Chain A
Amino acid sequence: GQQLNQSPQSMFIQEGEDVSMNCTSSSIFNTWLWYKQDPGEGPVLLIALYKAGELTSNGRLTAQFGITRKDSFLNISASIPSDVGIYFCAGPGNTGKLIFGQGTTLQVKP
């Protein structure tokens, strides 16, 4: 079935550093979504991408929809301690229901 593969699985960085994570699939996705899950909370949508090649920013976050429609990346600039959490990529599968990647766990050292 369709799968989304995220990397890296986890990251431990210093406050102020930039972060990059990506999501790939062997299948084409027409929408790419990036969610963040804070500890003890449900996922919250950060950025939605609807068009191949699209580059979208939300504050310190930037995400791109790959040209092949099989990948996407999320960058976080100048990380701060509240960036800690799990970042999930997601996209609607063939049935229209969301498929989630395995998540990238981010830890930020003050």
Chain B
Amino acid sequence: SAVISQKPSRDICQRGTSLTIQCQVDSQVTMMFWYRQQPGQSLTLIATANQGSEATYESGFVIDKFPISRPNLTFSTLTVSNMSPEDSSIYLCSALRGETQYFGPGTRLLVL
């Protein structure tokens, strides 16, 4: 299995500010992903975090709003930029090891 930790676990932010979420995996993984889970909803893929190159974003998500870094095989960050109340959500880091995709505990973000 893969153990994934995220920081912060939750935050309350003011609109217009930015928050960077960190994801750390206990050992090297082939792929890392970032998901958003809005209240009462399923998981939506934001982007695939590529090591050493720009992330690959899904339709509806752009780099200016959700810049992502992955400097090595065990660590990634997601920034939620210029936040608005609509960005209030759970942000989940995920990693693929072998054929299994594992998830972090999530970061609960509330934007006022």
Contacts and interface: CB of A to CB of B under 8 A. Distances in A.
Report whether chain A binds chain B: yes
Interface of A: 33, 35, 40-45, 48, 88, 97-98, 100-103
A105 B76 CA distance: 30
Given A35-B103, A100-B42, 8 more contacts: A42-B4, A42-B103, A42-B106, A45-B100, A45-B101, A48-B100, A97-B48, A102-B42
A42 B99 contact: no
Contacts, number: 35
Interface class of chain A by DSSP: strand
Contacts of B43: 43, 88, 100
Interface of B: 4, 33, 41-43, 45, 48, 92, 94, 99-106
Contacts of A101: 42
B45 A98 contact: yes
B40 to A, nearest CB: 9
B101 A98 contact: yes
23 contacts: A35-B103, A40-B105, A40-B106, A41-B105, A42-B4, A42-B94, A42-B104, A42-B105, A42-B106, A43-B43, A44-B103, A45-B100, A45-B101, A48-B99, A48-B100, A88-B42, A88-B43, A97-B48, A98-B45, A100-B42, A102-B41, A102-B42, A103-B42
A88 B43 CA distance: 9
A101 to B, nearest CB: 7
